[in-house]
Amino acid sequence: MGKLGAGAVTAAVVVAGPLPAALAHGGESPAGPRVVAEGLDNPRQLSLDGRHKSLVVAEAGRGGTECTEMGCAGPTGAVTLVEKPWQRTPVVSTVAEGFISYAGPDGSFAVGANGADATDVAGEYIVAGYDPAGPFMENGSLLVTFEQEPDVRAIFPYADLQAAEAELNPDGAQIHSNPYAVLFVDRDRHNSPDGYALVADAGANAVWKIEPDFSTATETSPPEYEITVFASWPNTALPDGTDDPEGPTEFVPTSLTSDEHGNVFVGGLGSDRPGEASVVQFSPDGTELKRWDGFTAVTGVAVDGGHLYVSQLFGPTPPMPPGETPADEAPPAADGAPGQVVVLHRHGHGHHRWAIDVPLPAGLAVSRHGRVYAAVNSVAPAEGIPAGPENPFGAIGGGAVWELDFSGAYRLESPQS
């Protein structure tokens, strides 16, 4: 997307059928997931860089010291790079930090730098979050970060998504932008910068397309850009903004990925209702091609040559608020927090689905060799969340990235899709 100029905020860098084969961990390694990175604050989207050699991890942060009755804010969001994640000890580093984060007093359930992806310029990343220089939590934005000088990176406001929402308002509801995932689309791998970005905006109920005009960029100002609606979904909320329990659910896009043909896959939260979330496949020009229904709280999607992988944040059944869930109906917490990653064959006509238990998963990524990575404990800070009356899950581990193993996957009852 090109090096940008003015208005920067600088920060120092301190099996058979559709089921995939079990992911090998080495002859003497135990079965099960492998920890690739840990000590992360609310890890969300995962993406692979253009060379498929590093994982880009968006950390929504842990809030901060500016607290109100609703929570605490601070510049704790970050972008983390995991180099060669298939190695036994990958190199993990912070490549950008200082993004605005808003979270509970314990650092949980953060909102902030929810999405990140690498561009076609080495060392440059685009981030779906909030402009640090704008009104607090009222300025959904696409940001760009890159090394400005040795050991110093700059964060540049790139596209004002809140302004686009105010002007276009695709779902016709309240004016609110909550960017949750970003996908960089490289027009020509042999020419850079020349790409554009897609952003899944949960607040706007839309996927934005941001196309820069690099001919307008200078050393002191970023390129001009055009924002259009790539895809949108209707508002189904009641007049007071709450979800209608008897009506249809809203899609609420939270996740993005693409395949080798440029098709775009969008996952939606589905208002957290069991079985009401979906994944939709679009052509590169935004034409809807296929839809998979029957998921619960989708927060991550990934594809390889034949499979679709889907994160279900709460597993098959989301929790009710504390005090409203009878103990015998609460999600089991003996082995940690709930959550699933589901896999299905995306080209066949069958509807079989398999799942593995993964605690509170979010972003997913698949390497060229079929290794599947997931952001886990995605609503927790690095040290995790202890069990308590306000936590319906039991104790939650710290934010991390795992390489998944599907050798123990179990069959799900699948809806027709």
pLDDT digits (tens, 9 = 90+) for 297-322: 999 999 998 999 999 998 876 655 44
Between 345 and 390, residue with greater pLDDT: 345
Q: Mean of the pLDDT values across residues 69-78?
A: 91
Question: CATH code at 82?
Answer: 2.120.10.30
Find all residues with CB under 8 Å of 42, minimum gap 6, and list them.
Answer: 59, 60, 61, 62, 101, 103, 107, 108, 109, 110, 112, 378, 379, 380, 381, 399
- Residue 29's pLDDT band (cuts 50, 70, 90): low
pLDDT for the residue numbered 416:
53
pLDDT for the residue numbered 7:
37
Helix/strand/coil (H, E, C) string of 167-212? Answer: HHCCCCCCCCCCEEEEEEECCCCCCCCCCEEEEEECCCCEEEEEEE
Q: Mean of the pLDDT values across residues 53-61?
A: 96
61 occurs within a structural domain = yes
pLDDT in tens, 347-403: 876 678 999 999 999 999 999 889 999 999 999 999 999 988 777 778 899 999 999
pLDDT for the residue numbered 393:
79
117 occurs within a structural domain = yes
**CA-closest candidate to residue 104, choices 69, 137, 140:** 69
Find all residues with CB under 8 Å of 321, minimum gap 6, and list them.
Answer: 392
84 occurs within a structural domain = yes
Q: Mean of the pLDDT values across residues 64-74?
A: 90
Q: Mean of the pLDDT values across residues 4-9?
A: 35
**Under a CB-based contact definition with an 8 Å cutoff, are residues 159 and 142 in contact?**
yes
217 occurs within a structural domain = yes
Res 267 pLDDT > 90: yes
5 occurs within a structural domain = no
Mean pLDDT of the chain: 85
- Residue 222's pLDDT band (cuts 50, 70, 90): low
**Under a CB-based contact definition with an 8 Å cutoff, are residues 141 and 158 in contact?**
yes
Q: C-alpha distances in angstroms, 373 versus 80, 113, 139?
A: 14, 19, 31
Rounded Cα distance between 294 and 349, Å, is 16
For β-strands 152-160 and 179-185, DSSP reports them as unpaired
Q: Mean of the pLDDT values across residues 156-173?
A: 92
101 occurs within a structural domain = yes
pLDDT for the residue numbered 318:
65
103 occurs within a structural domain = yes
161 occurs within a structural domain = yes
pLDDT in tens, 85-125: 999 999 999 999 999 999 999 999 999 999 999 998 888 99
Q: Mean of the pLDDT values across residues 232-244?
A: 79
Between 198 and 314, residue with greater pLDDT: 198
Between 324 and 290, residue with greater pLDDT: 290
Percent of the chain with pLDDT over 90: 59
Percent of the chain with pLDDT over 70: 85
pLDDT for the residue numbered 336:
58
pLDDT for the residue numbered 151:
75
**CA-closest candidate to residue 70, choices 102, 108, 114:** 102
Between 74 and 10, residue with greater pLDDT: 74
Listed in order, strand segments (DSSP E) in 240-388 are: 253-258, 264-268, 277-282, 288-295, 298-303, 307-312, 340-345, 353-357, 364-366, 372-376
Question: Can you tell me whether residue 272 is helix, strand or coil?
Answer: helix
pLDDT for the residue numbered 350:
63
**Under a CB-based contact definition with an 8 Å cutoff, are residues 256 and 195 in contact?**
no
- Domain span including residue 141: 34-412
Find all residues with CB under 8 Å of 159, minimum gap 6, and list them.
Answer: 141, 142, 197, 199, 208, 210, 225, 227
pLDDT in tens, 319-337: 554 444 433 343 444 345 7
The CB-side HSE value for 402 (13 A sphere, CA atoms) comes to 24
The count of structural domains within the chain is 1
Q: Mean of the pLDDT values across residues 332-346?
A: 76
One-letter amino acid at 92 equals V
